[in-house]
Amino acid sequence: MWIETVDPDAATGVIAEAYERQRAVRGRVEDFTKLGSLYPDLSSTRLTLYKVVDACPSNVPEWVKHAIALTTSVLNRTPHCASGLGEKLVETGMDRALVDEIYARPLEARTGDDAVDALLGYVRKVVLASWEVTEDDIETLRGHGWSDLDILDANNISSYYCYINRVTNGLGLKTLMCPSPDIPEFSVVVVPEGAAETAPLEPSDV
């Protein structure tokens, strides 16, 4: 990490309470929580936000939620978050081959479930070109059987991880939470509306 943080042994007040909240649930204080510790209210609020996003009472299966979060973090090239999310996906009972597929081909990975693949397609658009999402995209998801609450859940999971991915990358939290594949190099070209269509994100040939 590239900025100062408050060590758990030296924590007092709000940040000490935030650390204890996380320790009670996870058994440890995560580096991401420490990363906001110079602003204790921020760390505390982030823990609450994570809990609220995670607890959405939608019908999106748990493994799909983790696939959404992993896809988002790989597209954002955030090894710290992606490594832990890959393990969570495996812990839901999914084959590790799906994790490897998302790492290797985050824009094209398929799960074999058309409804889930449609949801992941929407997530990719939210991550890479949110301004291009239209009401037709939402209608497509409804056509695959997803309710509005399901769509809200998928949107919030991806948006939440876009936020923490940028905090993590921007402040130098690069350590892996567990062994994981390397995130491939990507390049993306975005062109103004009315010009050529937005180029797809592709692994760099360089």
> Are 21 and 82 in a shared domain?
no
5 Cβ contact list (under 8 Å, min separation 6): 34, 35, 37, 38
Both 84 and 129 in one domain: the answer is yes
pLDDT at 195: 46
My answer on whether 83 and 142 are in the same domain is yes
87 with 106, same domain: the answer is: yes
Eight-class DSSP state of 172 = T
Four-point Cα dihedral 180, 62, 124, 42, nearest 10: -80
> What tens digit of pLDDT does each residue of 58-92 get?
999 999 999 999 999 999 999 999 999 999 999 99
Q: Residue 196: what pLDDT? A: 45
DSSP annotation of 113 reads -
- The verdict on 147 and 164 lying in the same domain is yes
Specify whether 46 is located in the same domain as 142. Answer: no
User: Nearest Cα to 35, choosing from 176, 174, 163, 167?
Assistant: 167
Range of the domain at 30: 8-54
Q: Are residues 99 and 154 in the same domain?
A: yes
Question: Is the pLDDT at 201 greater than 70, yes or no?
Answer: no
User: What is the per-residue pLDDT for 181?
Assistant: 79
User: Could you tell me if 74 and 118 lie in one domain?
Assistant: yes
Please give the pLDDT value at position 185.
Answer: 72
Q: Average pLDDT in the 27-55 region?
A: 94
- 80 and 143 together in one domain: yes
Whether pLDDT at 8 is above 80: yes
Question: What is the pLDDT, as a whole number, of residue 23?
Answer: 93
Residues 66 and 120 in one domain: yes
The reply to whether 178 falls in a domain is no
- How much is the pLDDT for 21? 93
Residue 204 confidence (pLDDT) above 80: no
Kindly tell me if the per-residue pLDDT of 10 is higher than 60: yes
* Percent of the chain whose pLDDT exceeds 90: 83
| C-alpha span between 133 and 42 (Å, rounded) | 30
Please tell me whether residues 165 and 127 are part of one structural domain: yes
The tens digit of pLDDT for each residue in 185-196 reads 765 554 445 544
CB burial class (10 A; 0-12, 13-18, 19+) of residue 76? buried
What pLDDT shows up at residue 199? Answer: 46
37 with 98, same domain? no
> 146's torsion region: left (phi>0), alpha (psi -120 to 50) or beta?
beta
Q: Is the pLDDT of residue 47 over 60?
A: yes
- Residue 148: other Cβ atoms inside 10 A: 11
Q: How many domains does the chain have?
A: 2
